[in-house]
Every structure is written in C-alpha cells, then in structure tokens.
A and B are shown apart, each in its own frame.
Chain A
Amino acid sequence: MSKLVVSNLSINRSELPVVSSLDIAVESGAISVLLGANGAGKTTLLEGLSGIIPVAGGTIEIDGREIQKARPGVRSREGLAHVEQGRTVFRQLTTEENLRVSLHAGADIAEAYALFPELVQRRSVKASLLSGGEQQMLVIARALLTRPKVLLIDEMSAGLAPVIVTRLMSAVRKLADNGLAVLLVEQFAALALSIGNRAYVMRRGRVVHDGDCLKLLKSPGELHRLYLGG
C-alpha cells in the first residue's frame, strides 16, 4: 500500500494554476523519481504537499489520513519531511545544533552521523561555514531525525560535484531500503532513474508519464520526448 497518495491535486500561484488535477502515489521502501523541465511545477507540488503553500483542491493522504488542510508542522508530525530546494540549514547554528533542533522522541543523533560520517568532525562548525555537499547532507540528516514516513527531496544535487551527488544518491537509496517512502525531484535524470523505482514526468503542472525507472532510463528518446512535449 502507498504511504503517500495524492489525488486530483491543484495548486495555484498568484491565482494561476501551476499544478492541475495531479495524481501520484509514493510507496514505502521505494524511490519515486519526479522529473520535468524547468517550470513544470515540481517545486510547487512539493511545497503544496508539505504545506508551505496552500492547495486549491484535491487530497493528500498519508496512511489514509488527509492532511491537505493542516499546517506544515502538523504534516511533519504526521510523518512528512521536506528537504527544500537550496539547502536550508540553520546558518547560525552548528551542525550538531541543526540536528538537535529536529531530534524527535525515539530518534538518535547517532543515526544521522551513521548515515553521513562526514558530519562527525564538522559537528561544532557553524552550518553557514559548511561546504555545499556537507550542507546538503545536514538537511537530509536533519529531516531524517523527525522520524518521517515520507521524505520529499527537491534538487539535492544542484551545484554539487558529481562525486558528492553519487554519495547523496546512495544515501537516499539506503533510506528507501530501510523502508522510507521517497519522492525525489531531480535535474540529473539519468542518475536519479538509476537509483529510483517509479518514475513520474511532469509537464505544465500535469503528470504525463508514470512508469518504471529502468525502462525510462533505457529509452532516452522517450524521456526527451516527454520533457519537450509532442
């Protein structure tokens, strides 16, 4: 059964529809990859899911419970975590303080350091002074400590070296293998498809493709066509 079920969702921005009648489902233990050209509405969708912006219609369910009207904090407590675009570390706090802020009952900071051992020696460093890769690790680890059931990740690879991106991708794969439901928005389509299970492609606020990641990976022509339309 799917952890996150989105039905007939519409989201407006400045009164204009950006996401329209969208249906997606995200399963536990799997990575659903969400692809789409710039401006397709991927970030808008994730922000609507986590409650940063209101939705205009439709439902969002986690474990069968509707959350589309709840505040972001409530959705977080229902098991939704959102790693936003742009590495939103708490700049004035140290690495460890960033982790402590999100530490929920039953979670242990050691889990964060186990996932990203690189962060251990940076624990007392102010987050604004971390490298881009370290900041990305920190926000993923921070989201993890809220004990989520569903993890939304928006363009975690933006501006990072390929070796770091590979590192992050394998960490996310590990999280999914441990049972998390992951919705991964990516520009690096090939890399994301190679670690993902289910692939969605969005165009102008709608899902235009729903299929298997490997299949899409093996037919670049198809992916190209989906991106550009036609």
Chain B
Amino acid sequence: MNALLTSAVAGLTAGGTYALLGVCAVFTYRLVAVVNFTGAAIGTAGTFVLIALYEAGYPIWPSVAAGIAAGTLVGVAIGYIMTRWFGEASASTKAAVTVALLVGIIAIGLRLTGGQHPHNMPELFPGSAFRMAGVEVTIASVLTIGLAALFTVLADLFLNRTKVGLNLRALADRPMAAELLGIRVQLLSLLVWGMTGAFTTFALMIIAPQRSPNFMTLSLLVVPALAAALVGLFRSFWRTLAGGIVLGLVEGMASSIDSVSQYRSAIPFLVVLAVLLWSQREARWDEAR
C-alpha cells in the first residue's frame, strides 16, 4: 500500500508537466484554433539549448533564460508557419500540419543532439518540498503543478481583464471579422505561440532530469498532454489541469505494479478512449472553433 502511495506521489512531477502542457494546448486551441502536436517539441528544443550551454560550461540560470528565449522563438516560428500559410485551413488540416512539423523537429533535434547520446541535464530544483503520508514530495513536482495552476489563473485573468485578451477572444470567435476591424491578428497569434512556448520550455526543463533527456522522448510528452487537454474537452483549463495531474498519478501507481508497469505508456491512450466514449464528443477534434 505504502509502495503504491510512494509511486503515486512520484508520478506527481509528470502529472504537473502533463497538466501544464495540456493547459498550453487548450490555450493554443481556444485562441488560434490549432490542435498543436508540436507543443512539447517546442519546449524540448528550448531545453536542449539549456543542456548544450550547461555542458559547454556556462552558468546555469543564464542558460535557463537562453533556453526559454529559444523555446519562445521556436514557438513563434511554428506560429508563423501556421498563421502565414495555414491560417485559413480547416482544424484537421492544421493538426496534420503540426504532426508533420513534429516529425521534422524530432528529426532535426535527434540529429543535433546525437540521439541516444547521454546528456548531462542539470536538476534545476533538487530536493523535496515536504513529506506527505510519509512520502517525499519533490520540489520539482510542487513547482510544475504550481506553474500549471499559475498559467491557468494568468490565462484567465489575461483573457478576461485585458484589452489584448479581449482582442484574442474576438480573434478566436471570428478571425476575419477581427481582422476587418484592424486588429493585428498575426501579431496576436504569434503572441499566443510565444507565451505557450516559454511556459512549456520551463516545464520541460524541470521534468527533463526525471526522464531520459532524449529529444524524441521529451517531444512525445505531447501525447499525455493532449490526453489531459481532452479531459478538459479542449475548453476548460481547470479540468485539463486536474486531468494532467490524475494522469501522472495513475501512471506513477502503474509503474509500481509489476504486471501492468510495462503497459503504463498506454495509459494516456486509455484515458483518451475513456473520455471520448464517455462524453461522445469526438466532434471536438474536428470542430473549427
């Protein structure tokens, strides 16, 4: 029983990351109408800039800042491709384009980072924050969950309390009507891509030491992230947040049960399936808005 609890708590860090990546996916979907499969890959690119600088002997925090800046830039670059050439495309076309981009980014990333070559990923926040039911809760897990909650609160405030947020909601509702009113549609879209790029990069930097810091593995964290977003039906930030955390916990528990541990990467898939069957909202994937 205690072992189960320990591994559940160990899954919290992953859960926090899934939650943050999921919330960013919902943010992107709601505001620029793209189911973005490159979300984690963008953060991975930024994380590897940090790793490269750190391995080259640069001090850690400036390297973190450079990595986040790089992740933001990659996000903006992908956003540019999506708004410039696929702005008018259907939701399913856009999703397919991001899958293609994901494959491209992974290929380039693996080439540049040397595939399975072991990397020295600095642990940004080592140690435990507190003990819960006799189990150590790491600072990393508290931080990722906190960051996810912070992003959720900030996104909410930003969208509902600021003029830029209002413009973004108008843009999400009717892009052409917004553009006809002189709203700087492209700039706003790139802002969304940049913001999510920055947040995902930081989240991946925190979780990378716990995973094998391999470009492909980290990029594919988008799968549980989109599963979490689906729990929120690509609308609700808070349900996505909860979905991500629960996904991490379940995955953690599964890893301690020998008979199921080898199947634990299938859990996001099972969650997706369960949510789809339960809510019968498959249409969400294809809905234009």
| A residues whose Cβ falls under 8 Å from a Cβ of B | 50, 52, 71-73, 76-77, 81-82, 84, 88, 90-93, 97-98, 100-102, 104, 142-143, 146
Residues on the A chain within 8 Å of B177, using CB? 84, 88, 90
Q: Is the CB of A93 within 8 A of B182?
A: no
Q: Is the CB of B182 within 8 A of A52?
A: no
Q: Is the CB of B173 within 8 A of A76?
A: no
Q: Is the CB of B170 within 8 A of A101?
A: yes
- How far is it, in angstroms, between the C-alpha of A104 and the C-alpha of B178 when the chains are bound? 13
| B residues whose Cβ falls under 8 Å from a Cβ of A | 163, 166-167, 169-170, 172-174, 176-185
Q: Is the CB of A50 within 8 A of B174?
A: no
Q: Is the CB of A73 within 8 A of B182?
A: yes
Residues on the B chain within 8 Å of A88, using CB? 174, 176-177
Q: How far is the CB of A126 from chain B (nearest CB, A)?
A: 11
Give the most central of B174, B176, B180, B185: most A CB within 10 Å: B180
Residues on the A chain within 8 Å of B163, using CB? 100
Q: Which residue of A lies closest to B184 (CB)?
A: A73
Q: Is the CB of B173 within 8 A of A81?
A: no
Count: A-B pairs, CB below 8 Å: 61
- How far is it, in angstroms, between the C-alpha of A216 and the C-alpha of B219 when the chains are bound? 67
- How far is it, in angstroms, between the C-alpha of A180 and the C-alpha of B182 when the chains are bound? 18
Q: Which 9 pairs show the lowest CB-CB distances between chains A and B? A: A76-B182, A102-B181, A90-B173, A88-B177, A101-B170, A72-B179, A90-B170, A73-B179, A77-B182
- How far is it, in angstroms, between the C-alpha of A142 and the C-alpha of B180 when the chains are bound? 11
Q: How far is the CB of A54 from chain B (nearest CB, A)?
A: 12
Q: Is the CB of B181 within 8 A of A101?
A: yes
Chosen A-B contacts, 29 in total, with CB atoms closer than 8 Å, are A52-B180, A72-B180, A73-B182, A73-B185, A76-B179, A81-B180, A81-B181, A82-B180, A84-B176, A84-B177, A84-B180, A88-B174, A88-B177, A90-B169, A90-B173, A90-B174, A90-B177, A91-B173, A92-B169, A92-B172, A93-B169, A93-B170, A93-B173, A97-B170, A98-B170, A101-B166, A101-B178, A101-B181, A101-B183
Q: Is the CB of A76 within 8 A of B180?
A: yes
- How far is it, in angstroms, between the C-alpha of A143 and the C-alpha of B180 when the chains are bound? 9
- How far is it, in angstroms, between the C-alpha of A142 and the C-alpha of B177 when the chains are bound? 10
Q: Which residue of B lies closest to A50 (CB)?
A: B180
- How far is it, in angstroms, between the C-alpha of A88 and the C-alpha of B174 when the chains are bound? 8
- How far is it, in angstroms, between the C-alpha of A135 and the C-alpha of B9 when the chains are bound? 52
Residues on the A chain within 8 Å of B182, using CB? 73, 76-77, 102, 104, 146
- How far is it, in angstroms, between the C-alpha of A54 and the C-alpha of B167 when the chains are bound? 25
Residues on the A chain within 8 Å of B172, using CB? 92
Q: How far is the CB of B235 from chain A (nearest CB, A)?
A: 11
